[in-house]
Amino acid sequence: MTDRRKALGALGESLAARELEQRGYLIVARNWRCVEGEIDLVAERRGMLVFVEVRTRRGRERGTPEESLTPRKQAKLIEVAQAYLEEHAADRDWRIDVVAVELSARGQLLRIDVIENAIEERR
């Protein structure tokens, strides 16, 4: 991953965390990693554990942030969430939210959308 792409991701995660805190989420962890992968943010809201995937895009040449979330990435997020629950012996309600951060080509914030329960576990 290039330094520019890392910086864009870090900016998006910071903006997302701030937005979530303003909406009453408590950020528990950032960039939590395990063998299965990484989750951008782990939060709590109204007694529920919330795993948050942040998708940041600058410009729309490659689509919207939401469109970048492939089925493969969704499956990986579920795996990582389950690993977190096992590691922390967390037997509680949980969900995966997506925060879409869209910036202009010049880096100005255009929008932040919080999509609750965006990814559901397939049974």
DSSP the chain: --HHHHHHHHHHHHHHHHHHHHTT-EEEEEEEEETTEEEEEEEEETTEEEEEEEEEEESSTT--TGGG--HHHHHHHHHHHHHHHHHTT--S-EEEEEEEEEE-TTS-EEEEEEEEEEE----
pLDDT at 123 (0 to 100): 39
Identify the pLDDT of residue 1. Answer: 64
Q: Which pTM was predicted?
A: 0.91
Q: pLDDT, tens digit, for every residue of 6-32? A: 888 888 999 999 999 999 999 999 999
Domain-wise residue ranges, the chain: 3-119
The pLDDT tens digits for 82-99 are: 999 999 877 889 999 999
* CA nearest neighbour of 11 among 64, 59, 57, 73: 57
CATH 2.40.30.10 fits 3-119, yes or no: no
